[in-house]
Amino acid sequence: MSGKGSKPRPFSVSQDEFANSFEKIFGKKEKTMQVRVKEDESKIGQCGCGRSPTGKCIGWHGLTEEQYQAELHTYKTVNQFTNTQDKN
């Protein structure tokens, strides 16, 4: 007589695909740059990594270079469109 759980459930993805996804999610993480203002309290909130186009920290220090470039492109595109709308 077979009890509950005696037969494994079928996989919905291949073992290779599962392993790759698992590695992407839980594998070694790249070290992210953390920049903190310690010296001058008047600079709190300002961008310390130099990535923010506004000068204020918007959290881009934790992005990979590829993610940063994509966000920067989106930011420039949106602001160019917004600035064009404001002039009309």
For the stretch 12-46, pLDDT in tens is 888 889 888 888 888 776 665 555 555 666 767 77
> What pLDDT sits at residue 11?
81
Domain assignment present for 44: yes
The verdict on residue 51 lying in a domain is yes
HEC profile for the chain? CCCCCCCCCCCCCCHHHHHHHHHHHHCCCCCCCCCCCCCCHHHCCECCCCCCCCCECCCHHHCCHHHHHHHHHHHHHHHHHHHHHHHC
Residue 16 domain-assigned? no
Q: Identify the CA nearest to 52 among candidates 33, 39, 28, 38.
A: 33
Host domain of residue 62: 32-87
**Band of the pLDDT at 70, cuts 50, 70, 90?**
very high
Q: What confidence score (pLDDT) does residue 88 get?
A: 52
The answer to whether residue 55 sits within a structural domain is yes
Whether residue 71 lies inside any domain: the answer is: yes
47 in any annotated domain: yes
Contacts of the segment 41-44: beta carbons below 8 A, 24+ positions apart: none
Say if 53 falls within a structural domain: yes
The answer to whether position 11 is within a domain reads: no
| Average confidence score pLDDT of the chain | 77
pLDDT of the residue at 25: 85
Number of domains in the chain: 1
The C-alpha angle with vertex 55 and arms to 35 and 74, in degrees rounded to 5, equals 100
